[in-house]
Amino acid sequence: TIGFVTHSIPEAVYLSTKIVVMSPRPGRITDVIESPLPKERPLDIRDSREFIEIAHRVREGLRAGHHDE
């Protein structure tokens, strides 16, 4: 198990099997996303519908957490 912190949504989606979305200060978990993508991921998976949908969900979770301030 590795905890990985990034500000890059595509990087998080590409590298993770589980994505934890957090709000800004105070940091709270706003969403936990289990990735349905296969563990072995070719670079072109970034163009897949699943990848784009996960990235969108992460982006929406960040926006929602930001508006709760």
The answer to whether the CB of 13 falls within 8 A of the CB of 19 is: yes
Tokens of 14: 């590409």
Percent of the chain with pLDDT over 70: 93
- How far is residue 67 from each of residues 42, 60, 64, measured CA to CA in Å? 35, 11, 5
For the cut 80, the answer to whether the pLDDT of residue 3 exceeds it is yes
pLDDT at residue 40, rounded to an integer: 95
Q: Please tell me the distance from the alpha carbon of residue 67 to that of residue 54, in angstroms, as a whole number.
A: 20
Q: What is this structure's pTM?
A: 0.84
| Cis before 24 (ω within 30) | no
Is pLDDT of 68 > 60? no
Residues 40-54, mean pLDDT to the nearest whole number: 97
Question: In this model, does residue 69 exceed pLDDT 60?
Answer: no
